[in-house]
Structure 1
């Protein structure tokens, strides 16, 4: 699945003067527009296209994002002629929608592995919704789940038997919207309840911090903590020989063969809200055996495989340098080439992770030396055993 649609057209009336002339998703959270935080999350999950469905004060969104690009990810802004609501916005954008796509509200996010809902979509349903648990569902209405199916979806009433709320993240089949005429309507009130009534919606509970900026209280809470990085742990993998078979300068997508338990471990870590990174020496680039673009294609293939399993790698770090390079621009003794620690320094700096929360898994002594040089814990993988079992039995605390 390549496309994620974000609903950014609401007026945010509950926030009063804050959103009088400002789209709610453009309000600053920890000094940056909330929508930018959403886009960064979506991008690291490997999506290729983001659609922003805008209405209220849309020129602010257009001016901010019209020239903004993420590597390998296109941003397209679709502006409504008049406010159409969350359901009408999707109908208005019908011609731009993929046959199956992710969709999310522009004012909320579950800081957890919401990609996991991808695995629930099958021939027996047309939509999947991410659900979050809360102690107080009074603001959010009622959702009930039975045998993976949503059996009640009511934005107005509260269920005494359920503490599940709409996490504001969905997967939809485009066909859902084909018979609607363009008009103002609500996704939550006019479309979803009918889909649920027809037993056409599945749900998945996602562990993670639920953030919502829709009220003054929740907006204040969102600004009270660095919720994206608060005390998260990071597992850092070497690539060739650890996550995938090492074919000797492995770069062809056809040569991608995952190690036993690698995909399962990454998904487990995603579900437990760990960061997952890769640090890899890529001397084949320096020696002109392949190009950086070939490596990126290989990484994209890894992300595609993972996404199909509801998993992802947060970022790949690589060193294309070597002292014996055939290409002059890569010929140097780089601080980023393991066992030196440049890539680990970047992870710590960019993601604000303490060393005690970083752990490296690799199959070579240079990986372990790199970890030791940076004073973080590590594990030397033998290249054969199941990685998930190793983590659960020997690493996980």
Structure 2
């Protein structure tokens, strides 16, 4: 089994199937997923060049296409039936199509990978090693496939709230959004409006309402990404808007929270020098954490959060918006929202220190001749 660049690899779905997944017909969903995998969907076998032939009687994790595109002469099967095959040329593709349609043997020269026995793939985009699903697409199996598709779209290394608190709720919202043909950009736009609303609620000292609105925004921030991956409908503008808002808004929330502490209903305002010291720590710490993450990617080609197991575990609680949200909730439960801002400042500083030490340790490891790679690979 060889490995090749995926430039110019075509994708062809064959067979008939009318069972929908997330509201999409199999051929439509398959072509969208293929395009996201940087394959070129076609309607017939191309005259020349490699092509991945897919049996539309199956549904599969998008990770399979990313894997197949880089592995020449590989057939992924399910109980002996070919489901996804990377064919080197038109003749091989025609032979594979005949095997799918008639049950004839696959042509010689193909390596076989049984998806039931060997489905462990590393997804660099989602920072996780996963058992990629590949299942017959039937009406009875459609709900199972939708759940598997949703789970496959989840980042393996993320914060504790996203991973555990609203994972189930976000799945049902994703299914509902797909059923009514909402696009990820629509969900993102609603989320942005809620994000701005939460800012004004914090500013006015309405912390409980702001936290509720912020919680809904954070859930939708999960839904839009999952909807995009499950339906293959992400766009460049949507990615910019989603990630841009994620990157920019947390410092504004903290500023508004600090101002809200001073409203008469609370009377917990900070002295000017205290408030601006906290804000400098929060903004600078937030920027430094992002810079460290970028430096690690530039230096080692992987996210700092997937280097070693401790990095993945610390990502669950590091000073990002969602873990910081827990501190905000706890401070409100104690009727001391001002403490929440102080806690977040301290936690931001400690998180920066942790990541800075880990960056230094990675450089030391490389200087000692050790390879810096993800523990998930």
TM range (shorter): 0.3 to 0.5
Give the structure, 1 or 2, with the largest relative contact order (CA under 8 Å, sep 6 or more): 1
> Per residue, is there more strand in 1 or in 2?
1
Larger radius of gyration: 2
TM-score normalized with structure 2 length: 0.37
